[in-house]
Amino acid sequence: MAQHTAQIKWTRTGETFTDGRYSRAHVWRFDGGAEVRASAAPDVVRPPFSDPAGVDPEEALVAALSSCHMLWFLSLAARRGFVVDDYTDDAVGVMGKSSDGRMMMTTCTLRPAIRFGGERQPAAEELDALHHEAHEKCFIANSVKTQVRVEPVP
């Protein structure tokens, strides 16, 4: 199977460190050359020790779930002869406690709004089937315990 890599790089910038008052800002580097500014979530570690402009791991999980679902949806729609002109998802992840009391992403709700072009438009049942199959095929959704909901926006 394929291997996917990421380099996560953090460097202490002169803080004492052992007092917990150090920056959580860091960089994600990917094999294609993309660099992403990252940090702990500001609701977990308050600024200035976090960088609100950086992507936090929780946001990245929500984005990965949404992106994976979208990519499968687009592929399946194309195979069935539907032309997708626009796909927007305002996805939301909710943190909570697991049954054993540990913090986790308990739910992630995907809210895809899709605009189709061309003469062939999917019926409601076909649209539901596309979302269901995309969810079933999504590598990321298949990899997490988080409940992933798909609530298409008309």
On whether both 15 and 31 belong to a single domain, the answer is yes
Distance (Å, whole) CA 74 – CA 16: 49
Please tell me what DSSP assigns to residue 99: T
Distance (Å, whole) CA 101 – CA 137: 30
On whether both 45 and 92 belong to a single domain, the answer is no
On whether both 45 and 62 belong to a single domain, the answer is no
pLDDT at 154: 85
pLDDT at 121: 96
pLDDT at 15: 84
User: Among 40, 55, 70, where does a domain finish?
Assistant: 55
On whether both 62 and 122 belong to a single domain, the answer is yes
Residue 85, phi then psi, degrees to nearest 5: -95, -30
pTM to 2 decimals?
0.93
Number of domains into which the chain is organized: 2
Are the C-beta atoms of residues 65 and 131 closer than 8 Å to each other? no
Domain that holds residue 107: 57-150
The pLDDT tens digits along the chain (154 residues) read 789 999 999 999 888 999 999 999 999 999 999 999 999 999 999 999 999 999 999 999 999 999 999 999 999 999 999 999 999 999 999 999 999 999 999 999 999 999 999 999 999 999 999 999 999 999 999 999 999 999 999 8
Are the C-beta atoms of residues 44 and 117 closer than 8 Å to each other? no
Distance of CA 135 to the CA centre of its chain: 13
On whether both 50 and 61 belong to a single domain, the answer is no
On whether both 86 and 138 belong to a single domain, the answer is yes
Among residues 55, 69, 46, which one has the least CA distance to residue 26? 55
On whether both 50 and 1 belong to a single domain, the answer is yes
